[in-house]
């Protein structure tokens, strides 16, 4: 299995921050426009869950230990 050695802790951090901002925007939209909640829930149910790939040595690999 090929590994991505060019992933940095900064890149992971930025992706997490971006996701947090997206979630904040979604929550804000759902609170301010309650009529879109039903449509949002229906669309989220249609998204297939991706299987996660466990990386046993993640911390060691990316210098977190």
32-43 pLDDT, tens per residue? Answer: 887 877 887 777
Task: Output the pLDDT for position 20.
Answer: 92
Q: Tokens at residue 18, please? A: 């971006």
- CA 17 to mean position of chain CA atoms: 9
- pLDDT exceeds cutoff 70 at 44: yes
Return all residues near 30 (Cβ < 8 A) that are at least 6 apart.
36, 37, 40
pLDDT digits (tens, 9 = 90+) for 1-23: 455 567 788 888 888 999 999 98
Structure tokens, 22: 């997206």
pTM, two decimal places? 0.48
R_g (Cα) of the chain, nearest Å: 17
Distance CA 14, CA 10 (A): 6
């Amino acid at each position: 299995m090929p590994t991505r050695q060019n992933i940095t802790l900064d890149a992971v951090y930025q992706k997490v921050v971006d996701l947090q901002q997206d979630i904040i925007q979604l929550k804000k939209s759902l609170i301010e426009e309650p009529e879109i909640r039903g449509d949002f829930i229906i669309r989220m149910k249609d998204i297939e869950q991706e299987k996660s790939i466990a990386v046993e040595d993640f911390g060691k690999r990316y210098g977190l230990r």
